[in-house]
Amino acid sequence: MSKRQSAREASHAGSWYTASGPQLSNQLDSWLAQVQPSLRPARAVIAPHAGYTYCGTCAAHAYKQVDPLHTKHVFILGPSHHVHLNGCALSSASICKTPLYDLNIDQQIYAELWQTGLFERMSIEVDEEEHSIEMHLPFVAKVMESRRDDFTIVPILVGSLNDSREKEYGKLFSKYLNDPSNLFVISSDFCHWGHRFRYTYYDETHGEIYNSVKHLDRMGMDLIEQLDPVAFSNYLKKYRNTICGRHPIGVLLNAATELKNMGVGMSFTFLNYAQSSHCRKLQDSSEKSNCLFDSLCRSRHFK
């Protein structure tokens, strides 16, 4: 492995979320206080990576289900928005900075992953430009605050994987998902709708555009709840829904399938769905029209 940079800066702090540690801490506490830990402890969550103004409340539904007493390693799988990857990439940093406190990257797990030959090394510049992982770091820091010196993170940048590669990475990560001390965070917004995103699917039978988008997303969410990677892939091929974290989701679904084949079942439940704005006419096009969601995954053993 090449020599790592020492730290990844919180490059989106001050624009996507506040750079003030005390203010950010209060915001996160406020969002989390509005949610009940109904299905704790989660083994995996899917949560959005938009600006906190749009997704903070929604993401809190997922993070409220995290139990720090059960968590030693937090895997964060985020899609690559700026660099084309056929596989997955590891950070060049050893720590990730947040306005709350620094998070240590697990060097032992990184070494295990690197030895598989399935990972690239992203430059510190690529790492700091990408927001899909960074947007989860303050939430992770907040919910793990009581054990800030006793856990590590494992950030993974996920590229444009085909079905076979999603299955390959899913098989690799299944052993980590099976470990109850590991938490998986899957970073994804749902539908990006409008001419700006070159996506204007609209089924008028569902009423206004935002209701059509909600129905479209709900179809995908139903398949995710079924933990069916093949059905989810077929859905994406049919509707072309612009789910930016579709490949990290695909990896998680394949990991769950691998565990099912070993006799370990996973249940998956969506807790919240929100659209950051409601599109009502075909001319509407904004990043604010992203659909945000969160969910969680728990495990059970088949008898």
User: What does the DSSP assignment read for 137-158?
Assistant: HHHHHHHTGGGTTS-EEEEEEE
Give CA–CA dist 37/65, Å, rounded.
5
Phi, psi dihedrals of residue 256, rounded to the nearest 5°: -65, -40
In a domain, 265, yes or no: yes
CB atoms within 10 A of CB 261: 10
Q: What is the CATH number of the domain that holds 113?
A: 3.40.830.10
Is 24 in a helix, a strand, or coil?
helix
Average model confidence (pLDDT) for the chain? 90
Q: Which residue shows structure tokens 């109904």?
A: 38
Give CA–CA dist 243/218, Å, rounded.
12
In a domain, 21, yes or no: no
- Contact criterion met (CB below 8 Å) for 67 and 74: no
- Summarize pLDDT for 161-211 with one digit per residue, the tens: 999 999 999 999 999 999 999 999 999 999 888 878 888 889 999 999 999
Domain encompassing residue 92: 41-301
* Beta-bridge partner residues of 269: 296
**Contacts for 21-27 with beta carbons within 8 Å, 24 or more apart?**
21/99, 21/100, 24/99, 24/100, 24/138, 25/100, 25/142, 27/52, 27/56
- Contact criterion met (CB below 8 Å) for 41 and 181: no
Q: If you average pLDDT over residues 279-300, what whole number do you get?
A: 51
Confidence of residue 300 (pLDDT cuts 50, 70, 90): very low
In a domain, 8, yes or no: no
In a domain, 54, yes or no: yes
Measured in residues, the chain has a length of 303
Count of domains in the chain?
1
What's the CA angle centered on 242, arms 236 and 247, to 5 degrees? 65
Q: If you average pLDDT over residues 271-298, what whole number do you get?
A: 61
Confidence of residue 11 (pLDDT cuts 50, 70, 90): very high
Q: Which residue shows structure tokens 């990896």?
A: 251
Q: What percent of the chain is modeled with pLDDT above 90?
A: 79
* Helix-helix angle 229-239:163-177, to 10 degrees: 140
In a domain, 172, yes or no: yes
Q: If you average pLDDT over residues 62-67, what whole number do you get?
A: 94
- Contact criterion met (CB below 8 Å) for 43 and 70: no
Task: Please provide the DSSP assignment of 152-186 as one string.
Answer: EEEEEEE----HHHHHHHHHHHHHHHTSTTEEEEE
In a domain, 114, yes or no: yes
Confidence of residue 5 (pLDDT cuts 50, 70, 90): low
In a domain, 195, yes or no: yes
Question: Can you give the pLDDT at residue 284?
Answer: 58
In a domain, 121, yes or no: yes
CB atoms within 10 A of CB 240: 11
Give CA–CA dist 181/256, Å, rounded.
16
